[in-house]
Structure 1
Amino acid sequence: MSNITTIIPTPSTFKRTALVIIGAVIFSVNMNSFVYAAELFPGGFSGISLLIQRASFKFFNIEIPYTFLYFALNAAPVFISFKYIGKKFTLFSLLMIVLSSLLTDFIPSIKITDDLLLCSVFGGILNGLAISCCLHADATSGGTDFIAIYFSEKKGTDMWNMIFGMNICVLAAAGFAFGWEKALYSIIFQFSSTQILNELYRRYQKITLLIITEKADEIYSIIKSSTNHDATRFTGTGCYKNLQKTLLYTVVSADELGSLARELKKCDPAAFINVLKTKEILGRFFTRSKD
């Protein structure tokens, strides 16, 4: 597959800002309605911040603002992101970090339910929604999301399950310090969040398309112009009518599939398209870089 650099439209500044603000609000409301109320640990740097905050109050009777801890932990990832991932990407991520931290400290805690399982599941869903808003704005919510994006860009595959594994370590520490019940429910919270991310943000997931068509040139032109991915052409004979057919083979990102499939069917309504989930790509694959 081609790795030629091209200019592919990114979300507008207004759209990105709106998505980040929405993500920050959802994140903060979730922290104060489910996470704080149920005393869960969400994992990542937000979980580490809460762990330090609660440990300092429990063992030393010292209250440390969540904002201060979250800013301090994100300092190194922000620098790495600015240098190696993208400047605008980092600036929008900083906006998310600042807004979510300030809103978390100022929005009052609201207990919606006392059921720990409901808090874990729905809190995880809201957490996944908040992070997804940021990712669709080409930004992150900070912390381990920077790590996930960095390695996803390098390896070309999504790393959310790896981050989930890292978060288990944070939750294990919380279990030792504050009891295993809340830590185990926090794992459910984190699992729910990871599943939402895997469903809503699919940029690093790969899809293989096998397209049988009589309009191979037009179909290839759409693939190339829409995604900047190449394709391989095979010719053969359809057994039913004994007519010559062309098979185009290509691999695209999962988030490109919806719009691309509509364009392909518009070009050739008779095209037969087989969509296969691709586990791994070994070789060159174009990925739009962060701005």
Structure 2
Amino acid sequence: MHSAAKEFSRDSKRFFLVLTGGFLMAVNLVIFVKPADLFPGGFSGITLLLQDIFQKEFNLHLPYSLTVYAFNLVPAIIGFKYIGKRFTFFSVVMIFISGLFTDLLSGLGWPLLTDDILLCAVFGGILNAVAVVLCLLAESSSGGTDFIAIYISEKTGRSAWNLIFGFNCLILFFAGLSAGWNKALYSIIFQYTSSQVINLLYKKYSKITLLIITDKSEEVYRTIKQLTNHGATVFEGRGEYSGKNHKLVYTVVSAAESGKLEKQLRTVDPTAFINVIQSKDILGRFFRRHPD
């Protein structure tokens, strides 16, 4: 019963995060992206580009929600097969909510906040990143190219958001040919801002090396194993200042785990000396928690 209640609580939290992320994504499209005629990249950008083309060439309104749902069918299947069923379910919920509210809010005639394209590009990129990060914290995605980014990151253990930024710039190249280079270049600012904020806020694929000098190496290792499921290597050394022998515990964890782990290690051994190092790359076996 306790396990079922814990699972329900976790799923409720994930559901709240994807609902909030989906709503913020729709708000961003309506108040920043569309008024400035920006193209956010990915399937959202392709959908807006198609809407623009159909309106200009055929005088037809292409529904945003139905179009973006159709584009996400194949990525959703890939996510279901290679990433996780629950991950894909919550991602689909996010896609549905963002598409639905984009059409609903567009029909309400949302008031114009600013007509400055640069402000729309910067703050739209920030709001887009917040929406995406909420979905990532819920162990889901905002759909489209995010499915691809998560798949690559899970396979390689490295953040793929800069790679997706490059792919989106390619899309914006074609948008520039169709809708004008001014809008396309501002859209690249939007994409760059969004990618950098995501990298700043979401640390799952960043690695932290901990060098811990302690006299309680066994307790320290048990704490590392319990909280992160990562291993450690223990070295013996002598402190030249004190002349005493100590143990050096070496481990690598994700940046998302390091804060909680460092706090707990201080409880286990208040006298431990901990050196925290940003790790650029890791080669070899490294435990990763896969989304379900």
Alignment of 1:50-89 (within 5 A): 50-89=48-87
Aligned-partner residue type, residue 276 of structure 2:
V
Alignment partners' CA distance in 1, 2:111 and 2:38: 14
CA-to-partner distance for each residue in 1:112-146, whole Å, 9 max, x for gaps? Answer: 10111111100000000000000000110000000
Alpha-carbon distance in 1 for matches of 2:55, 2:165 = 27
Query: Are the counterparts in 2 of residues 93 and 140 from structure 1 also a CA contact under 8 Å?
Result: yes
Instruction: Identify which of structures 1 and 2 has the higher relative contact order when contacts are C-alpha pairs closer than 8 Å and 6+ apart.
Output: 1
Shift of 1:16: 0.3
Q: How does 1:190-209 map to 2 (within 5 A)?
A: 190-209=191-210
Q: Does 1:106 align with 2:95?
A: no
Tell me which moved more, 59-68 or 252-261.
Answer: 59-68
Structure 1: how far apart are the matches of 2:94 and 2:51?
Answer: 21
After superposing the two structures, state which structure 1 stretch, 117-126 or 54-63, moved more: 54-63
Do residues 277 (structure 1) and 278 (structure 2) align?
Answer: yes
Q: CA deviation at 1:60?
A: 2.2
Q: By how many angstroms is 1:35 displaced?
A: 0.3
Partner of 2:265: 264
- In structure 2, the residue matched to 1:33 is 31
Structure 1 consecutive aligned stretches of length 4 or more whose deviation exceeds 4 Å: none
Q: Size of the alignment, in residue pairs?
A: 283
- Give the equivalent residue in structure 1 for 2:234: 233
Q: Distance in 1 between matches of 2:203 and 2:146?
A: 15
Task: Identify which of 40, 43, 53 aligns with 1:42.
Answer: 40
How far does the alpha carbon of each residue in 1:77-126 deviate from its partner, in whole angstroms, 9 at most, with x for none? 00010011000000000000000000000013332101111111000000
Aligned to 2:134: 133
Q: How far apart, in 2, do the equivalents of 1:269 and 1:112 lie?
A: 51
Residue 189 of structure 1, CA deviation: 0.6
CA distance in 1, matches of 2:117, 2:216: 56
The separation in 2 between residues aligned to 1:275 and 1:165, in whole angstroms, is 31
> Please, which moves more after superposition, 60-69 or 145-154?
60-69
Does 2:286 align with 1:288? Answer: no
Q: CA deviation at 1:64?
A: 0.8
TM-score in terms of structure 1 length: 0.95
Which residue matches 1:5? none
Contact 1:37–1:110 under 8 Å retained in 2: no
- Identity %, equivalent residues: 54
CA RMSD in angstroms, aligned pairs only: 1.2
Superposed counterparts of 1:209-228, under 5 Å: 209-228=210-229
- The 5 A counterparts of 1:158-173 are 158-173=159-174
Contact 1:28 1:103 in 2 (8 A): yes
The answer as to whether partners of 1:212 and 1:246 remain within 8 angstroms in 2 is: yes
**Pairwise CA distance, 1:40:** 0.5
Q: Give the TM-score normalised by the residue count of structure 2.
A: 0.95
User: C-alpha separation between the residues in 2 aligned to 1:48 and 1:253?
Assistant: 34
